[in-house]
Amino acid sequence: MSLRLSSGDHQAFTRSVAGVLSRECDSSALHAFIDKQAPLDATVWTRGVELGWLSAVAPGPWGGLDLGVRGADVLFRELGRRAAPGGLLPTLIASLWLSGSGGDELQAAMLPAIVAGETVVAIPVGEPSIRLRLENGRLSGVAPDMLGWSTASVAIAPAVTARGEIFVAVRINGVNAQLSFDSHWDRTRQVGVLRCEAAEPLGIVDDLDGAAARLMRRLTALAIAGDSLGGAREAAEQTISYTKGREQFGRPVAAFQGLKHRIADVMVEIVASEHLLRYALDVVEDGGQDADLWAALAKADACEAYERAAEEAVLLHGGVGFTWAFDCHLFLKRARLNEQLGGDRRRLRDAAADLLRQAAWSDRSTAEIAT
């Protein structure tokens, strides 16, 4: 059972994380990183370790605070608000997943090192059509769509054995376990491929009933949703600030009714998505049987809100919104990639519809599902 923060503690934690990232990961630092002039990824990771962010979600026996998905959501939103690069997000997801699915042996092998900041983890973020295979205690094959960072030292991936499906943790040693990343439009994220050839697993989690896979998808959905809403808020607030300061025909452009309505529509969409995510977090934290349904819907809505906010930011900044110097394109690129990580919104809403149908067939009312 994770520790539920009081309202005051939750706000204090949020202010603390936001304050650090506003200093260490502001717009100028992010642009310097994008231009390959500053190691912002290492800076954010180091500050996170020093301030105990990696211990926030880990269980108490392994040196963590056990704040669960609620505590993690604070970090995901503030990291998203700053479009922070690095391996914090997948590593935090891995820590939550290990707390729920990993046995004592695997937790002991990984969680203390995660809490200490010694391990960056890569995790799967796609629907695995190709899986690793474990035979005679050795792991071989290819696992695509791994979200991580170039400093990742451990990967968690789905695999198969003669008995059925499993998850494996494997050390990235560059010899028989290699993690390579592809170039894509969002430079604040790294998504790549894990290749193994007779690699020895660090640990194994049986997943014959699919529970471990569902937990990984659920946690990834919540993390990306939080990251997206943090980014959407920042994109919208930057747009509001810019339109208040930019004048046309002797008036701030924010005074024109047409622009007011567009910005208001964006904010309404963000607030509605925030309420949906909060409800999903409650259901997941309380162990509700509809956790997968609400996590899928929360991620779908959050990514849609982020994309809308980022697109409007580009347009309402006028000509400069398309330039490299402003943040608009960074948010739009991250929004477009977030949409794909863990399934796009159409796939997620289809999955939620299937879960709703299953609930209806089990004679549960929509009121029961919503409460």
Q: How far apart are CA 122 and CA 103, in angstroms?
A: 19
- CATH node for 123-206: 2.40.110.10
Using alpha carbons, select from 157, 136, 154, 137 the residue that is nearest to residue 146: 157
Mean pLDDT of the chain: 92
Q: For 197, which DSSP code? A: E
Q: Please report the pLDDT score of residue 250 as a whole number.
A: 66
Identity of the amino acid at 276? L
Q: Looking at residues 69-74, what average pLDDT do you find?
A: 95
pLDDT digits (tens, 9 = 90+) for 165-205: 999 999 999 999 999 998 888 999 999 999 999 999 999 99
Is the pLDDT reported for residue 366 higher than 80? no
CA distance 318 to 53: 38
Q: Where in the chain is the domain with CATH 1.20.140.10?
A: 211-370
Q: Which residue has tokens 């990306």?
A: 224
Residue pLDDT, tens place only, 339-357: 999 999 999 999 999 988 8
Q: How far apart are the first and last CA of the chain?
A: 20
CA distances from 145 to 194, 221, 319, 341 (A): 8, 15, 35, 8
Start and end residues for every CATH 1.10.540.10 domain found in the chain: 7-117
Nearest to 106 by CA among 117, 122, 116, 94: 94
Architecture of domain 7-117: Orthogonal Bundle (1.10)
Output b/e per residue, 38-73; b: 16+ Cβ within 10 A.
eebbebbbebbbeeebbbbbbbeebebbbbbbbbbb
Give the torsion through C-alpha atoms of 69, 220, 368, 305, to 10 deg: 100
pLDDT of 322 higher than 90: no
Q: What is the pLDDT of residue 1?
A: 55
The pLDDT of 31-36, averaged and rounded, is 95
Q: Which fold has domain 211-370?
A: Butyryl-CoA Dehydrogenase, subunit A; domain 3 (1.20.140)
Least confident interval from 30-34, 108-112, 244-248, 274-278: 244-248
